[in-house]
Structure 1
Amino acid sequence: MRIRAVTPEVLVTELADRIAAAPPDGWVRVALDGAPAAHPGRLADDLVAPLRLRGRATLRVSAADFLRPASLRYEFGRTDPDSYYSDWLDARALNREVLDPLAEGGTGRVVRALWDAASDRATRTPYEVLAPGGVVLVDGALLLGQGLSFDLAVHLWLSPGALARRTPPEEHWTLPAFARYENEVGPTGFADLVVRMDDPRRPAVFTPLAD
């Protein structure tokens, strides 16, 4: 692997070009995976306008709107890293309500949000229809390796030191979950594209060496 430094603007342009190059008759389901400190939601937001300029209807979804109820997330306490790793996200609901309807032969009818974690109440939004050729951008942490149906997975990688520095002290209890993710899933090998985000002003794209 080699690392190619880019600007944030070039990163967005290259990603938008890659997504828009997909066949126009089917949907494109894109994961923007990364720890909160890597700001995957920010990159997802930045892609919306460029994709629409390229003729792709685009829908933004956050995995944070598909969490399980607090009674399940906090069964072993509010700061249990193992629960954060395996029990917070309702992956089945995210597949059912967003990703599976955008598979080949799907209906295109999706729900943008299902659960409000702050109020711990269901917040099912009205169904929306994404036209064929449209793109859904899903941001979140720990998304890969749990059966979510993505067509393109982008992983925003942070070195352990950068992850610790850029994670607020009150959230350091999540760090063992990300270490476990690295060891058990290996997102840098799982993703279609890996971007190093130690310095968000200077992202770097991992590319395979030519044979």
Structure 2
Amino acid sequence: MGDTRATVLKTIADTLIERAEALPSRVLQVAVTGITASGKSTLAQELAQILTRRGRSSVHIAVDDFHNPRDLRHRRGRDSAEGYYFDAYNYPLLKKLVLEPLAPGGNLIYQARGFDLETDAPVEEALNKANPGDIFLFAASFLLRPEIVSYFDYRIYYLYRYRF
């Protein structure tokens, strides 16, 4: 990892830890969003590793595990930009299984995955228990959509894969 990238990641991690410490009675939900294939998941994974090394409990949620079934995702055409925006993700399921349980007043019991792209089928997994002070990093395009943006305490918009 280059010195500049390490510095940027450290700065983001410092900010997230500071923000989590300011909200000690709840989970910090962080959106890592931006254009497709920009490196959002890589950034979220790197941040989770740094946070863990620094003693902070962190969880990376791949929102790709909350897609809609293929027939719904591709109903406007496989390469449709409108279809990608409106039909790719199952936001109600993401809200039900993760965002709402982790939100203030939620029960902190969440399911990390809701859909398997390979099998094109819903998944049911063991439930997990979050703890106040945990930092959750969500990675996907379109996390600034009106129906979910208010769940995030902090938003990172990653425009492009820049090798710094």
Alignment correspondent of 2:10: 13
Amino acid at match of 1:20: I
**TM-score, structure 1 as length reference:** 0.70
CA contact 1:60–1:137 (8 Å) conserved in 2: yes
Q: How does 1:56-95 map to 2 (within 5 A)?
A: 56-95=56-95
Amino acid at match of 2:100: D
SS at match of 2:133: coil
**TM-score, structure 2 as length reference:** 0.89
Amino acid at match of 1:146: P
> Once the two structures are superposed, what CA deviation does each residue of 1:77-122 show, in whole Å capped at 9, x if it has no partner?
2121110011111111111111111111211111111001121011
Q: How far apart are the structure 1 equivalents of 2:158 and 2:83?
A: 22
Larger radius of gyration: 1
Alignment correspondent of 1:155: 157
> Once the two structures are superposed, what CA deviation does each residue of 1:47-75 show, in whole Å capped at 9, x if it has no partner?
11221233321111111000111121111
Q: How far apart are the structure 2 equivalents of 1:151 and 1:102?
A: 11
Structure showing greater relative contact order (alpha-carbon pairs closer than 8 Å, 6 or more residues apart): 2
Q: How does 1:119-138 map to 2 (within 5 A)?
A: 119-138=119-138
SS at match of 1:154: strand
1:130 Cα shift?
Answer: 1.0
Q: How far apart are the structure 2 equivalents of 1:84 and 1:146?
A: 16
Q: How far apart are the structure 2 equivalents of 1:49 and 1:73?
A: 32
Q: How far apart are the structure 1 equivalents of 2:125 and 2:105?
A: 23
Q: How far apart are the structure 2 equivalents of 1:117 and 1:37?
A: 17
CA contact 2:34–2:40 (8 Å) conserved in 1: yes
Cα RMSD after superposing both structures: 1.5
Q: How far apart are the structure 2 equivalents of 1:125 and 1:61?
A: 14
Percentage identity across paired residues of the two chains: 27
CA contact 2:72–2:87 (8 Å) conserved in 1: yes
Q: How far apart are the structure 2 equivalents of 1:51 and 1:79?
A: 37
Q: How far apart are the structure 2 equivalents of 1:11 and 1:153?
A: 15
The size of the alignment, in residue pairs, is: 157
Where has structure 1 moved over 3 Å in runs of 4 or more?
none
CA contact 1:91–1:146 (8 Å) conserved in 2: no
Q: Does 1:201 align with 2:151?
A: no
Alignment correspondent of 2:49: 49
